[in-house]
Amino acid sequence: MNIIQIDNWRDYRRDGEQFLHTATAAHEKKKRGFSTDTLYNVTCMAIEKLIMAFLMKNGDLAENHTMADLLRALQLHLGDIPELAEKLMYMDTFQEICSLDNFTIHIPSEEDVVKMLAIGEDVRAALQPYLYDEPTTLRQ
């Protein structure tokens, strides 16, 4: 299978790494400008950017950018990833903002933020072999 990479995937990888670093550092330093809701959103952006980098490197895009949609796109390449799937679905429980009719936001607790940052690291670690090794070895 020939894979045609989508330009700028490395920019997405870099941005994802930076967003995750920013959220983690802000949480560790208890930065006042970073509420639990802000940390949630920055962590979600990190996860989205990392997954999009992976997809773009492999010539693919997600249908939408909810965690569920990003997960579905990942699974097309990686197969069943139940532990990561459960974690990404947990991330999706805090905001439902795609529809104005069903717009809901749940503010994460401090405990939730710790879990979310760990999920961000789990996503980064799971994708690291694909994002830093030039040859792509995916399911065919």
What are the tens digits of pLDDT across the range 7-28?
Answer: 899 999 999 999 999 999 999 9
Residue 38 confidence (pLDDT): 96
Which phi and psi (to 5°) does residue 96 adopt?
A: -130, 90
DSSP result, 14-76? HHHHHHHHHHHHHHHTT-TT--HHHHHHHHHHHHHHHHHHHHHHTT---SSSSHHHHHHHHHH
Q: How far apart are CA 16 and CA 119, in angstroms?
A: 13
Domains in the chain, start-ordered, CATH in brackets? Answer: 9-132 (1.20.120.330)
Cα 75 from Cα 85, distance rounded (Å): 9
Q: Structure pTM?
A: 0.89
pLDDT value at 100 more than 80: no
